[in-house]
Amino acid sequence: MNEPLGDMLTCVVLAPVDRPVDPEVHAMLSEQGWSARIEHDPRMAMVEACLARRELQLRAAWQTCSGLTPGLVILSHPQVDEVDAMRTAMDRHVPDIPIWTAQNRSLEPLNEAARTATQIQQDDHQSNVGESVDPPALVFHPGDERFAPEPLSREEVAMLLQEQKDFGTVPEDPEQP
């Protein structure tokens, strides 16, 4: 099993055990920013794809990037029945994991999640082509003077500190005898 390199996203590749993975497949995945985690058994490929998806979800939670779903790439595999059973199970249990096949030096989507990911990538590429190099201006900046809080008076500070000190106690009613 190959581990991801640096900031590359993990992609699981289901490949036959009797043939090495074509270097062009590795180059194609690398161009996408993906590193290959090679599996030879369809069941293990499904497990690794689920683990890779979880890794990408955690990564997306801590970073600002989105669309981190490289998924599973299926190369021609001799165990056709097991591959079909794996795809059926993935469609039922984890339909959000994209499934691809590598053909003619490109990734071809095999399920709806992969088609959606392809469309998102194409839309992102088209929107990036028209953008300028400068990042967009911030709508709100914490240092903006228009949004600076007004200073508190001594009475307001004393009132806030008094409420904090009396927090949890019942306030006294001055009208009671």
Q: In this structure, is residue 146 part of a structural domain?
A: no
CATH code assigned at 78? 3.40.50
Total of domains in the chain: 1
pLDDT band at 92 (very low <50, low <70, confident <90, very high): very high
Give every strand in the sheet of 34-39, ordered side by side. 34-39, 9-14, 72-74, 99-103, 106-109
pLDDT in tens, 137-152: 445 455 555 556 677 7
Q: In this structure, is residue 28 part of a structural domain?
A: yes
d(CA 118, CA 121): 5
Task: Please give the residue range of the domain that contains residue 49.
Answer: 9-123
Residue in this structure with the two tokens 């009475």, named with its chain if needed: 155
pLDDT in tens, 36-88: 999 999 999 999 999 998 888 887 777 655 566 788 999 988 889 999 999 99
